[in-house]
Amino acid sequence: MFKIALRNIFRNKRRSVLTGLSIAVAVMIAVYLWSLISGIMDDLFDNMIRLNYGHVRILNTDYVKRERLLPLEANIKDYQAVARLADADRNVTLTVGRIKFGVLLEYKGKNKPVFGTGIVPENESPISHLDQKIVEGRMIEMGKEEMNLGASLARELGLKLGDTLTVVTQTAYGSITAMNLKIVGIFSYGVQSMDKTTFFIPLDRAQKLLDLENSATEIFIFIKDKNKGPEVAKEIRAKLDLAYPGKYMAKAWQEQELLYFYMVIARNVYAGLYFLVLFLASFTILNTMFMSVLERTKEIGMMKALGMKNRQVMGIVMLEALLIGTIASFIGAIWGSGIAYYLATRGLDFTATFETMGTINFPISSVYHALFSWGIVFFGFCMGILFSVAAAVPPALRAAKMEPTESLKEI
């Protein structure tokens, strides 16, 4: 039976190729579109976690409401003791204090608002991957008056490695304060909100600059399973409430309100879109397959006339569909993964467009990278086969039921 099916497929090459082409293209598009969409979304969430929120974040209760103003006075005193509370949790893999502050950089008589972050450099690589994002120079070191500057910002201000920049800002208590910081490294995340408006300095220098000895404004916590964010946050909250009633609170990245909300919406909009595309793709497969089987009514009649049983006829038709579906889906999956792989490694580059834009606090990369995953490829492959076979069922049933003479009559 397998032989007959195979022979049938090769006998009418053109039909097989056309049917297969539809299936392959549909599978291909399903594969690379999903890769691209999940790539963009993963990048967005990943950036959000690594750059803005951590998995869980401890904040001063007063900080939460006014976060957009970066209120330094609402800080975490003796932050290491607070961090130790979280460290005790078995889900927690890393805790690290940070201070984020606003600075008005003056250049050529114009003021440019930028954000500085005080970090512990040796803890930074698992968080923001800063070590991998340094394109020139090296990372800052604790205790030294040094900074790592965003590439776009450096270009805009005409600063280069080795230059010293005076950062003037206000302390947590409102005094004017300043520090000379040497640019020892320039980073590029490919995220404009980072590259264009931020710099990193060692945490202890930030504490000195801002009159925040032993304090941090936020504690980033990383946990084993990021999906458990809310649960872990809840546990840490309970501990905080016990030790510092009403003073500090913990928030999971999923609880980060507005930005998270917009991202979830974006993800769902794209998922909805993808669903529509998938629908169209599967319809295309169904329709082509249906047509292909339908046009073979005569052949089926012939088979029956030669004494084949209904079940056998159906089996052959289905087997053919399965064969074409499998081969075409395989080809489509390869094409799709090829494109997806290209998009994953090279990406769709929108840097030029993002360069022209002002400061927006949306951590989206200027290069859209697809997420290449065999899971997606496999899904596309299975989808192709499934719809090919499913599409063959009704015409196969019909053909099997037909009287031989009847089907022969039809053209």
- Residue list 60-99, contact with another protein (CB under 8 A): 65-66, 68-69, 73
The CB-of-131 to another protein minimum distance in angstroms stands at 28
Which two three-digit tokens encode residue 250? 């913990």
Among 80, 188, 284, 310, binds another protein (CB under 8 A): 284
The CB-of-21 to another protein minimum distance in angstroms stands at 6
Cα separation, 250 vs 285, in Å, equals 50
Binding mask 311-340 for another protein (x = CB under 8 A): ------------------------------
Find the binding residues for another protein in span 203-242 (CB under 8 A): 211, 230
Query: Which stretch in 147-155, 214-222, 273-281, 302-310 sits in contact with another protein by CB under 8 A?
Result: 273-281
Cβ proximity to another protein: between 187 and 335 the closer is: 335
Among 90, 108, 242, 411, binds another protein (CB under 8 A): 411
The CB-of-356 to another protein minimum distance in angstroms stands at 5
Q: Which value, to the nearest 10 degrees, does the dihedral of the CA atoms of residues 147, 148, 150, 153 take?
A: 30
CA separation (Å) from 93 to 5, 50, 126, 235? Answer: 57, 14, 10, 15
Query: Which stretch in 89-97, 151-159, 274-282, 377-385 sits in contact with another protein by CB under 8 A?
Result: 274-282
Query: Which stretch in 45-53, 134-142, 152-160, 349-357 sits in contact with another protein by CB under 8 A?
Result: 349-357
Query: Which stretch in 119-127, 135-143, 291-299, 377-385 sits in contact with another protein by CB under 8 A?
Result: 291-299
Question: H-helix or E-strand containing 222?
Answer: strand 218-223
The CB-of-123 to another protein minimum distance in angstroms stands at 26
The CB-of-334 to another protein minimum distance in angstroms stands at 17
Among 9, 25, 51, 402, binds another protein (CB under 8 A): 25
Task: Residue count of the chain, please give it.
Answer: 411
Q: What does R_g of the chain's alpha carbons equal in angstroms?
A: 30
Per the CB < 8 A criterion, the answer to whether 168 and 341 are in contact is no
Q: How far is CA 104 from the centre of its chain?
A: 32
Cα separation, 244 vs 61, in Å, equals 11
Q: What is the DSSP string of 79-116?
A: HHHHHHHHHTSTTEEEEEEEEEEEEEEEETTEEEEEEE
Among 280, 378, 382, 406, binds another protein (CB under 8 A): 280
Per the CB < 8 A criterion, the answer to whether 136 and 187 are in contact is no
Binding mask 27-66 for another protein (x = CB under 8 A): --x--xx--x---x------------------------xx
Find the binding residues for another protein in span 148-207 (CB under 8 A): 166, 168, 170-171, 173-180
Per the CB < 8 A criterion, the answer to whether 368 and 351 are in contact is no
Helices vs strands, H then E, count in the chain = 16, 12
